[in-house]
Structure 1
Amino acid sequence: MRFSANLGFLWNDLPLPEAIRQAKAAGFDAVECHWPYNTPAEDVARALADTGLTMLGLNTRRGDAGENGLLALPDRVQDARAAIDEAIAYAVKIKTPSVHVMAGNTSGDEAHKTYLENLRYACLKARPHQITILIEPLNPYDAPGYFLKCAKQAEAIIRELNLPELRLMFDVYHQQITGGDICCNFKKLLPLIGHVQIASVPERSRPDTGEINYRFILSYMRDLGWQRPVGAEYRPTGTTEDSLGWLKPYQNEL
């Protein structure tokens, strides 16, 4: 099994180019990040070229305090589309194949309509660059009030829009908290999934702790045909280096 270091949580005390180099030295197969926009894309591209790693994904901006994304906010359409344009332009510069577009804290029919319209816009903007647009349900404990609440809602939106660029971010941590039944849901949703992320539950720490048996889950995903790197999006309880004891065994045994 191959793994991607999520640099929003791992080595997040370092400048992004240095974090990329640390991920390579630690043995990760790829990297991903949250919001890279304070770092010149040229510096990130150089670190990726130096290490041979791919930046698998990045996020659109979260907006103002308390918004947690913009795409579903009816009064922020112009800003949401500017954030989409910015993310895709940055992704093109560093050859990133996916952009996670953040919905924001809102609800209701108007928010749903706005979200769909902005997702259509994002997919059309991504299409010439062969970039995948990802949507990710977030659990109500970490993200209270977030528009996209569960995999069932995300599935309905993806099927309604029926756009080839639009895919689901299957984050096992969020899925366990919001709906559980990880294996059955993964199997059902596999044709719609664009990326997988993992962390322990409930602590959101290294994946070999907590209530989820990731050796079983990841073997199950592999046996169903998942071959792309899995994102390690967890919070180390100490230093990142001290949290990496799981990595080599998972790479070699799964």
Structure 2
Amino acid sequence: MIRLAANLSMLFTEHDFLERFAAAAEAGFRGVEYLFPYAHAPEALRTALKESGLEQVLFNLPPGDWESGERGLASLPGREAEFRDSVVEALRYADVLGCPRVHAMAGLLPLAADDETRAVHHATYVANLRFAAREAAKCGRELLVEPINTRDMPGFFLSRQAQAMAVLEEVGEPNLRLQFDLYHCQVMEGDLIRHLERQFSAIGHVQIAGVPERHEPDVGEVHYPALFARLETLGYDGWIGCEYRPFGATRAGLGWGRDHGLRPSQQ
């Protein structure tokens, strides 16, 4: 059975952040993810999870200066010490929240980056991921990497599935896994079912959204029931993160989820 997790950075934004946990549980979710937990004490987040009966399934490492446009530190040369500190902080939160996996955003390339610059970013990325994966392994966590499309995030270092798979192989740590966002893959490459099949053994988490507007997954060019069916056939037993921007009120757009296990409470 497909297990859906609400991304609280995008869903239930009608509510203050700590109130979104209860809203997600009332809508039928049993797991949650979000971009970053660091604006709140981990104990406050743990309380919200416990009171709502939810499982924390994923969040990202600190991304650098998000408000100024940074989108991760993992591939940025000269920022290695900051990246290592971000690993420590993320794993501290993961321990308190019982979260089994964290995602290290790759970061942005400089404008008009040449081959030499890309090579330096690649070497930095591999070294940083190896460090982070080994630290995560010490506390029983997985580290994820995610190709993100360059339409939504121009200049993002990791944007292709083959690039991600090559990085996993080069780093060589068994707890380094692929965060496979079907929305990003469709925008960049398409051929979603074949990508799922080829990369299945590396996938640690899946995310969804409608394409191209990133609204509900029952709107747009991707037929998610077929993808869910293939995931089940392949034996996927992980979470599927609902990382989309609702067209209107979140709960009003969740009808699609009733066919996939969402059982909203009566209000």
**TM band (smaller chain):** over 0.9
Residues 43-87 of structure 1: per-residue CA shift (max 9 Å, x gap): 111121222211100011221222211110002111111111111
SS in structure 1 of the partner of residue 205 of structure 2:
strand
SS in structure 2 of the partner of residue 55 of structure 1:
strand
Is the contact made by 2:4 and 2:242 (CA closer than 8 Å) also made in structure 1? yes
| Map of 1:30 onto structure 2 | 31
How many pairs are equivalent? 252
Equivalents in 1 of 2:75, 2:229: separation in Å? 35
Matched, 1:194 2:204: yes
Sequence identity, in percent? Answer: 40
One of 88, 113, 119 as aligned partner of 2:129: 119
Amino acid at match of 2:70: E
| Map of 1:75 onto structure 2 | 78
Bigger relative CO (Cα 8 Å, ≥ 6 apart): 2
**TM-score when normalising by structure 1:** 0.96
Q: Which runs of 5+ in 1 are unaligned?
A: none
Is the contact made by 1:69 and 1:102 (CA closer than 8 Å) also made in structure 2? yes
Which stretch has the larger CA shift, 59-68 or 119-128? 59-68
Is the contact made by 1:72 and 1:147 (CA closer than 8 Å) also made in structure 2? yes
Equivalents in 2 of 1:53, 1:226: separation in Å? 20
Equivalents in 2 of 1:109, 1:66: separation in Å? 22
| Map of 1:89 onto structure 2 | 92
**TM-score when normalising by structure 2:** 0.91
- 1:251 positional shift: 2.2
One of 178, 181, 195 as aligned partner of 1:185: 195
One of 219, 223, 231 as aligned partner of 1:221: 231
Residues 188-243 of structure 1: per-residue CA shift (max 9 Å, x gap): 10110000000000011101110000011111111111122211110011121222
One of 229, 248, 251 as aligned partner of 2:258: 248
Amino acid at match of 2:34: C
Which stretch has the larger CA shift, 79-88 or 146-155? 79-88
Amino acid at match of 2:29: F
Equivalents in 2 of 1:75, 1:14: separation in Å? 39
| Map of 2:113 onto structure 1 | none
Structure 1 runs (4+) deviating above 4 angstroms are: none
| Map of 2:47 onto structure 1 | 46
Is the contact made by 2:204 and 2:238 (CA closer than 8 Å) also made in structure 1? no
Amino acid at match of 2:141: I
Equivalents in 2 of 1:246, 1:71: separation in Å? 36
Is the contact made by 1:16 and 1:39 (CA closer than 8 Å) also made in structure 2? no
Equivalents in 2 of 1:134, 1:11: separation in Å? 25
Residues 133-192 of structure 1: per-residue CA shift (max 9 Å, x gap): 000000010010000011110000001111011000000000111111111110110110
One of 128, 132, 155 as aligned partner of 2:142: 132
Is the contact made by 1:16 and 1:44 (CA closer than 8 Å) also made in structure 2? no
Matched, 1:230 2:240: yes
Q: Which runs of 5+ in 2 are unaligned?
A: 110-116, 263-267
Which stretch has the larger CA shift, 200-209 or 46-55? 46-55
Matched, 1:157 2:167: yes
Amino acid at match of 1:8: S
Amino acid at match of 1:235: R
Where does 1:5-20 land on structure 2 (aligned, <5 Å)? 5-20=6-21
Equivalents in 1 of 2:235, 2:90: separation in Å? 29
Equivalents in 2 of 1:162, 1:62: separation in Å? 23
SS in structure 2 of the partner of residue 57 of structure 1:
strand
SS in structure 2 of the partner of residue 10 of structure 1:
coil
Which stretch has the larger CA shift, 120-129 or 14-23? 14-23
